[in-house]
Amino acid sequence: MKLYAGGHLDFYLPNRRSRVEIELKAPTRLSEVLAGLGLPLAEVHLTVVNGQMVDLQAAIVFGQDEVKLYPAVNGG
Amino acid sequence: MAYGSTAKILRVNLSTGALEVETLSEDFYRLYPGGKALAGYILLNELPAHTEPFAPENVLVIANGLLTGAPVSTATRYVVSARSPLTGGYGESEAGGFWGPELKMAGFEAIVVKGRAPQPVYLWIQDGVTEIRPAAHLWGRTTAEAQETIRAELGDEKIRVLQIGIGGENLVRYAGLTNDLRHFNGRTGMGAVMGSKNLRAIAVRGSLRYQSLAHDPETLLALGRKLSKAVRDNPLSWDLQVRGTPGLVEPLNTAGILPTRNFRQGAFEGVDELKWEAYEKQLLTARRSCYACAVRCKREVAVNGQPSPYGGPEYETLGAFGPNCGISDLQAIAKANELCNAYMLDSISAGATIAFAMECFEHGLIGLEDTGGLDLRFGNAEAMLAMLEKIARREGFGNLLAEGSKRAAEKIGGEAKFFTIQVKGQELAMHEPRGKYNVGMGYAISEIGADHLVVAHDPAFANPEAIQFKSAAALGITVAQPSRLLNAEKMKHFYILEKWGSMEKTTGYCFFGPAPRSFIHPDDVLLSINAATGWNMTMDDLLQIGERGTNLARIFNLRQGFSRQDDTLPERIFQGLENGPLQGLGLPRDDFEQALTILYALKGWNAETGVPTRERLESLALGWAAEMLPVDTQK
């Protein structure tokens, strides 16, 4: 799966890189994948899988799925 | 005793050439410790109601916060305040950079400018010595040319220059000020007021050090060092350092709250051309900082391959000239940013006013004969840039748009009034209130007209486990609430966050310093102020400083005839968005009105009139200001 962590979410990923590829051996709950990466689920405000906005808790990902995550962004 | 202040105000009368220094008492400064609160106090006491904004009698106040120049990241700001030519009410705009700290090093907390010089002039302040110098040779020049000329003739490259551009000279009602060409007092037309006084610039140089003014310089320095290291250990300030505000474009578009085509839409099909990766690849050349700030959120850019002296476009500028004008040409938007900064126009109001004109054009309310042949349709970047030039020079149709979208709509007539997206005459910033209801409340109730820096934005307070929400507990925000909801708890959020934001504008902190928006915990904000002053203040004291500032500005507006009816939103915001995840959804009008009543009650304001009660004013040590309310509102 290809993961893009938008906004400040890349802070939590290895080497603070915003794009990560993860090999999944079976369909997996996205929340479990993120927990494994150490990305706090509370910081994820929007979840987009293959271009569709989805519920993070319900999302299951696999193979070449493209996942984009965005935090709650403030102003400025 | 040292309390973080030089206690000196420079008073300038440009009509007579008189220069005087006023010394403030510590007791006074404790109530009005700089910035917004000091400006509000001076304007209420010295500016008669209904003074015309461009009359010599208008009073221009430029005021540092008490911490401005302290060795603490993000404590760099000063406010510029006067009666606004855009709104007719209280005008105010803050900026960071280096000028505010340099003014403090030169010996002054604030400058109060009255009168009008017979010829263009600039002020030169060096370590307490002040001179009024001729500026006819600077009139009509770009801000970069003027800064270079001033530094050359005074023989010091380190002089900090605060100035207007030709926008202010030509009284464009949303002209601003810039310092160091990269930091902007954009909002409410303060540059036009300065231009009306024939004052082109204020150059400063000083050798004081803040630490010599601080009560406990060791604690302040230790805190400053701790915070400098903390910047990269907090995801919010880390993001500001890496991407800065341009990083907002993509997340806001995904959420469907990226203002597009004059706020008709919330998602923009051309967003890929404008998101951070494109900015980094096409524009970015370096990152820069304000004085003593480790966040380093400012961008340096090249425009069309040429290094720009003006800094890179912030999110607001990207939004205003980009999606809100239907434009996805990043180089053209960066060019618009350069033009705004070379001529010193507020990029929010300039972009939003052009977007308004584009909608009028597409509806046939104006045509090629009006625009001087410019095909002013959404998406036409060339026409946008050409119109920006005309606005700064007040040429042709630009002369009308230089009045701002509200006045332009009155002149154009018909449906144009529905296309002007403003509150109290000031255009909305590039944050969609239909997705962030408290931002909408901020647009409605702000004393300066619609602005985005009234409260921290709603999404930060939607998840009780998120870091922004948790950091707000120290302020008393303990119950998470959805962004798209207006209820009593949300109004409690608003009431607290507005006071906190006003405190920042008074003490000199940037919106990108303190939590919940960024990385400085409220307890450390309190520590910094007590270390500077020795006043042993509490968190409630800080919030009261903020509340005092908003009430001073409120009374200023009530004197000008503003009322509850002015605390509203453009009709479009109550209608549904045309596209994106929030398609069809508007901000519920009844919920808004009920929430406004709840908020008035929290603020101690009369539910019908929006007038502060005498009891609330007295609790804020503002009993004297109650006497300034119009007689028919004193209930």
Contact B431 A75 (CB under 8 A): yes
* pLDDT for residue A75: 81
B439 inside 8 A of chain A by CB: yes
User: Which chain B residues contact residue A75 at CB under 8 A?
Assistant: 429, 431, 439, 452-453, 456-457, 511, 517
Nearest Cα of chain A lies from the Cα of B456 at a distance, in angstroms, of 7
Q: What is the pLDDT of residue B632?
A: 67
- ipTM at complex level: 0.96
Q: Give the Cα separation of B238 and A7 in Å (integer).
A: 10
A11–B239 CB contact, under 8 Å: yes
Q: Residues with Cβ < 8 Å from B221, sequence gap 6 or more?
A: B71, B211
CATH code where residue B512 lies: 1.10.599.10
Q: Do B251 and A68 lie within an 8 Å CB cutoff?
A: no
Residues B370 and B239 in one domain: yes
| β strands within B14-139, DSSP E | 18-23, 60-64, 78-83, 90-95, 110-114, 121-126, 129-134
Question: Considering the domain boundaries, does residue B369 fall inside one?
Answer: yes
Residue B495's identity, in one-letter code, is: Y
Residue of chain B nearest A70, judged by CA positions: B251
> Which of B258, B463, B512 is the mutation pick for testing A, counting most A CBs within 10 A?
B463
| Residue A74 pLDDT grade (very low, low, confident, very high; cuts 50, 70, 90) | confident
**pLDDT tens for residues B188-232?**
999 999 999 999 999 999 999 999 999 999 999 999 999 999 999
pLDDT tens digits for range B65-122: 999 999 999 999 999 999 999 999 999 999 999 999 999 999 999 999 999 999 999 9
Strands of the sheet containing B110-114, edge to edge, are B18-23, B8-13, B110-114, B60-64, B78-83, B90-95
Specify whether B265 is located in the same domain as B375. Answer: yes
Candidates B348, B467, B469, partner chain A, best to mutate (most A CBs within 10 A): B467
pLDDT at site B35: 98
Percent of chain B surpassing pLDDT 70: 99
**Reduced DSSP (H G I as helix, E B as strand, rest coil) percent helix, strand, coil of chain B, to 5:** 45, 15, 40
Residues B331 and B370 in one domain: yes
- Among B74, B184, B236, B469, most A C-beta atoms within 10 A, so best to mutate, is B236
Give chain B's domain count: 3
Does the pLDDT at position B634 exceed 60?
no
pLDDT the model gives residue B346: 98
Are residues B416 and B478 located together in one domain of the fold?
Answer: no
Task: Establish if B431 touches chain A: CB-CB under 8 angstroms.
Answer: yes
Check whether residue B377 and residue B455 sit in a common domain: no
Sort out which chain B residues have CB atoms less than 8 A from A46's CB and list them.
251, 254-255
- Cβ-based contacts of A9 with chain B (< 8 Å): 235
CB contact at 8 A, B364 and B316: no
Decide which of 1.10.3720.10, 3.40.50.880, 3.10.20.30, 1.10.10.10 is the CATH code for A2-71.
3.10.20.30
Report percent pLDDT > 90 for chain B. Answer: 99
Q: How distant is the Cα of A4 from the closest Cα of chain B, in angstroms?
A: 12
CATH number, position B294: 1.10.569.10
Return d(Cα B144, Cα B310) in angstroms, integer: 8
For residue B633, pLDDT over 70 is answered with no
- Given a cut of 90, whether residue B635 has pLDDT beyond it is no
- The tens digit of pLDDT for each residue in A34-56 reads 999 999 999 999 999 999 999 99
* Mean local confidence (pLDDT), B501-515: 98
- The per-residue pLDDT for range B346-369, each reduced to its tens digit, is 999 999 999 999 999 999 999 999
For residue B573, pLDDT over 70 is answered with yes
Of B427, B447, B480, which marks where a domain is finished?
B427
- Using DSSP's 3-state secondary structure scheme, residue B304 falls into coil
pLDDT 10s digits, B41-73: 999 999 999 999 999 999 999 999 999 999 999
A&B contacts, CB < 8 Å: 83
Residue % of chain A over a pLDDT of 90: 93
The pairing of beta strand B160-163 with beta strand B177-179: antiparallel
Residue B126, both tokens: 């060096």
Note whether B456 contacts A: Cβ–Cβ < 8 A: yes
Instruction: Verify that B240 and B360 share a domain, yes or no.
Output: yes
What one-character DSSP code corresponds to residue B164?
-
CATH code assigned at B48? 3.60.9.10
Nearest-CA neighbor of B205 among B163, B154, B164? B154
Secondary structure in 3-state letters for B217-257:
HHHHHHHHHHHHHHHHHCHHHHHHHHCCHHHHHHHHHHCCC
Q: Is residue B432 part of a domain?
A: no
Least CB–CB distance from A73: residue in B248, B463, B464: B248
Min CA distance, A8 vs chain B (Å)?
A: 5
CB contact under 8 A, A75 and B511: yes
- Give contacts of B439 with chain A, Cβ < 8 Å: 75
* The pLDDT of residue B570 is above 60: yes
Structure tokens belonging to residue B543: 């919030």
pLDDT at residue B619 greater than cutoff 90: yes
Q: How much is the mean pLDDT over chain A?
A: 95
Write the DSSP assignment of B171-198 as a string of letters: T-TTB-EEETTTEEE-GGGHHHHHHHTT
Per-residue pLDDT, averaged over B392-398, amounts to: 98
Q: Are residues B563 and B621 in the same domain?
A: yes
The span from the CA of B431 to the CA of B449, in Å, is: 14
CA distance B9 to B29: 11
Question: Same domain, yes or no, for B159 and B273?
Answer: no
Please tell me whether residues B250 and B367 are part of one structural domain: yes
Q: C-alpha angle A75/B4/B9, rounded to 5°?
A: 90
> Comparing C-alpha atoms, which of B288, B370, B279, B362 is closest to residue B322?
B279
The chain-wide mean pLDDT, for chain B, equals 97
Strand runs labelled E in B336-471: 422-423, 426-427
Higher pLDDT, A74 or A33: A33
* Contact between chains at B581 and A73 (C-beta distance less than 8 A): no
Closest CA of chain B from A45, distance in Å: 8
Task: Name the residue of chain B whose CA is nearest to A42's CA.
Answer: B466
Give the minimum alpha-carbon distance from B452 to chain A in angstroms, rounded to a whole number: 7
CA distance B271 to B552: 41
What is the pLDDT, as a whole number, of residue B1? 73
> Does residue B249 share a domain with residue B176?
no
- The answer on pLDDT for B8 being more than 60 is yes
B519-538 pLDDT, tens digit each: 999 999 999 999 999 999 99
Q: For chain A, say whether B278 makes contact (Cβ under 8 Å).
A: no
Q: Domain segments of chain A: what residues? A: 2-71
Asked if residues B168 and B390 have their Cβ atoms less than 8 Å apart, the reply is: no
Mark which of B427, B455, B473 sits at the end of a domain.
B427
The DSSP H or E segment spanning A69 is: strand A66-71
Position B491 in a domain: yes
The alpha-carbon radius of gyration of chain A (Å, integer) is 12
H/E element, B375: none
Q: How far is CA B343 from CA A63, B117, B509, in A?
A: 53, 21, 27
| Residue A40 distance to chain B (closest CA, Å) | 8
pLDDT tens column, B456-483:
999 999 999 999 999 999 999 999 999 9
Instruction: Let me know if residue B218 belongs to a domain.
Output: no
Whether residue B160 lies inside any domain: the answer is yes
Beta strands B199-205; A60-61: pairing state: unpaired
Nearest to A72 among B453, B460, B512 (CB): B460
Test B463 with A45 for CB contact under 8 angstroms. Answer: yes
C-alpha count within 13 angstroms, C-beta hemisphere, residue B95? 26
* Residues near B193 by beta carbon (within 8 Å), at least 6 away in sequence: B53, B54, B58, B60, B82, B83, B84, B85, B91
What domain range includes position B69?
Answer: 8-212
